[in-house]
Amino acid sequence: MKVAVIGATGLVGKKIIEVLDQRKFPVTELNLFASEKSLGEKVLFQEKEIEIGILSAIDFSKFDLAFFAVDDKISKEYIPKAQKHCIVIDKSQAFRLDKDVPLVVPEVNPFACLKHKNLIASPNCSTIQLVVVIAPLRKLAKINYVTVTSLQSVSGAGSFALEQLQYEIEKIAVGETEKPESTPLLQPIGANLIPQIGEFGKDGYTSEERKIILETRKILNEPEFPISATCVRVPVFVGHCQVVDITFDRKVTVAEVQKALTKAPGIKVYTDGQYPMPIDVLDKDDVFVGRIRHHLSDEQRISLWIVADNLRKGAATNAVQIAELVLKQ
């Protein structure tokens, strides 16, 4: 299969290339593209050096499959051209909520791929790890409400945000605490938390929070699914964490939840006082769950802790898994 990766020098693009190799995706020819500033750079893939080409020079008729790991503006400009010739898997939010575009997490709604029109969207990183866990729990009982607090690493904001965190950590280490003059994030992140990811809407929710809410509803095919989200940027390099409260319409035991999640694909469950942390999930493709417990005053309410590598399962791995599904059709 002739494959193109658009945005090949970004954090997600690099991970897609890595995952394609590790999962032995049947690539017969790999072509890599990025902005002009990356022209001439080379990337090693399967012991071959591949030179980066520029986006404006792409001929999509030469490819069977194209991964897009770029911003919304570029996706909107180039994907309509690409899908005339090849299958596109898009990591941006540009088309996620379009009625005719499947939004897919393979462990949850693989059947949605059957309806694609040469374009399949991969969800927001925080949405992915959340729905992987919610989906098997919906089979236990009706869910009355979900509340999620999403603690998101700076890699979700790109390489410049990673550089900012590293810079601020180094400054803090030598006792300097002045705010940086400019930042790709909204506020300083070293030794800090930022309770805003994206722009605020009139309802008080940020764009990141709306992504979780609306994308979860679309993936679960439940337009009124009862969910609320709060997203916080935290001083962690890679790995998103979530505190999730789920209220069912009946009493659900911890043992039931543990069993359901253990049997579900793509999930690793921690028990007996053990719990996953961002440092534990680096470069892993599963979603990790721990601290499963009842709410103290409500036996119909379960609280749990979810962690995943946002660059792997939250981005690159999910995209490649979608491509694997397409191959099976």
Domain 2-123+315-328: CATH superfamily is NAD(P)-binding Rossmann-like Domain (3.40.50.720)
pLDDT for 31 equals: 97
- Among residues of the chain, what percentage have pLDDT more than 90? 89
Active-site annotation, residues: 125, 240
Please report, for residues 1, 191, 236, 238, the alpha-carbon distance to residue 241 in angstroms, rounded to integers and kept in the order given.
35, 17, 10, 10
What does the pLDDT read at residue 37?
Answer: 85
| pLDDT at residue 181, as a whole number | 67
For the chain, first and last CA: distance in Å? Answer: 15
- How do the domains of the chain map onto residue ranges? 2-123+315-328, 127-310
How far is the C-alpha of 115 from the C-alpha of 307, rounded, in Å? 30
Tens digits of per-residue pLDDT, 57-103?
Answer: 899 999 999 999 999 999 999 999 999 999 999 999 999 999 999 99
- Rounded to whole angstroms, what are the CA distances from 239 to 2, 174, 190, 225? 31, 26, 16, 26
- pLDDT of 57 reads 82
CATH architecture of 127-310: 2-Layer Sandwich (3.30)
Instruction: State which residues of the chain have pLDDT below 70.
Output: 177-182
Strand pairing partners for 269? 289
